[in-house]
């Protein structure tokens, strides 16, 4: 698919993945390769709203490869939000500039969650371009900026020149994590800002949360490969820049 002029995407199919009240702006569910390209100078804006459901930006959940090229912005509003998600046993490749604005009014900190970028089930995500901006605001929903969890040793690689993850949790949520890693590798190869504000959080606020145990099948690694890395964490209870 080639997009040749500015476009607004409004997700109106509430049965994505066959689950009621689940919406995605760009989604791939097939055992094939799908490529979406916005030509240079074109901006694609997406609005995804799901009352009492899930709003998602870019999702790969089949057994195929999803390539998204160009410049995109996503305004996502729901109890649970997933900005960029690969759960598809294959690769998700992003080439361009990506802006994600995620808002959750969810009140259940145990069930409602907002995730900027996530990979599961042995999948890879590669982000190339000038900038990746993730801006999250929640009431009580859990915040995870990047979740590379139980991913069979596979990799999320951020090659963007500038990666920014900023999150504000207004209510008394339970957990706020900039990066959550377990049995996976996460590489940041450009400038990075992680800025978390969760003054009312009752339990844990972590800039980088690395979870691993002796005898795990795969190592857990988070690499910051550029000199400009800024991690700022504010919490009302326990807070750490990194946790191992």
Residue-wise pLDDT tens for the chain (244 aa)?
A: 898 778 788 776 666 766 778 889 999 988 999 999 999 998 899 989 887 789 999 999 988 999 999 999 999 999 999 999 999 788 999 999 999 999 998 877 778 999 999 999 999 999 999 999 999 999 888 999 999 999 999 999 999 999 999 999 887 766 889 999 999 999 999 999 999 988 776 667 889 999 888 888 999 999 999 879 999 988 765 555 555 5
Distance CA(74)–CA(165), nearest Å, equals 14
Distance CA(50)–CA(17), nearest Å, equals 15
Q: Six-digit token pair at 145? A: 């900026």
CA distances from 61 to 64, 86, 87, 132, 214 (A): 8, 6, 5, 22, 30
Stated pTM of the model: 0.92
Distance CA(218)–CA(243), nearest Å, equals 18
Distance CA(167)–CA(176), nearest Å, equals 9
């Amino acid at each position: 698919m080639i997009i040749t002029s500015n476009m607004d995407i409004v997700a109106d199919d509430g049965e994505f993945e066959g689950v009621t009240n689940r919406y995605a702006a760009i989604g791939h569910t097939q055992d094939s390769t799908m490529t979406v390209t916005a030509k240079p100078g074109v901006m694609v804006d997406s609005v995804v709203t799901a009352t009492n459901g899930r709003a998602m930006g870019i999702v790969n959940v089949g057994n195929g490869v999803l390539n998204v090229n160009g410049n995109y912005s996503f305004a996502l509003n729901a109890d649970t939000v997933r900005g960029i998600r690969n759960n598809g046993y294959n690769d998700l490749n992003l080439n361009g500039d990506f802006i994600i604005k995620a808002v959750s009014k969810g009140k259940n900190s145990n069930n409602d969650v907002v995730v900027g970028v996530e990979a599961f089930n042995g999948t890879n995500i590669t982000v190339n371009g000038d900038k990746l901006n993730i801006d999250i605001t929640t009431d009580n929903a859990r915040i995870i900026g990047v979740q590379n969890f139980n991913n069979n040793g596979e990799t999320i690689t951020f090659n963007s020149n500038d990666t920014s993850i900023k999150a504000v949790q207004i209510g008394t949520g339970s957990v706020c994590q900039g990066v959550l890693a377990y049995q996976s590798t996460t590489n940041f190869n450009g400038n990075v800002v992680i800025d978390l504000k969760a003054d009312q959080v009752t339990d844990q606020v972590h800039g980088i949360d690395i979870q691993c145990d002796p005898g795990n099948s795969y190592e857990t690694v988070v690499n910051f490969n550029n000199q400009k890395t800024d991690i700022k964490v504010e919490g009302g209870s326990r807070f750490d820049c990194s946790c191992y």
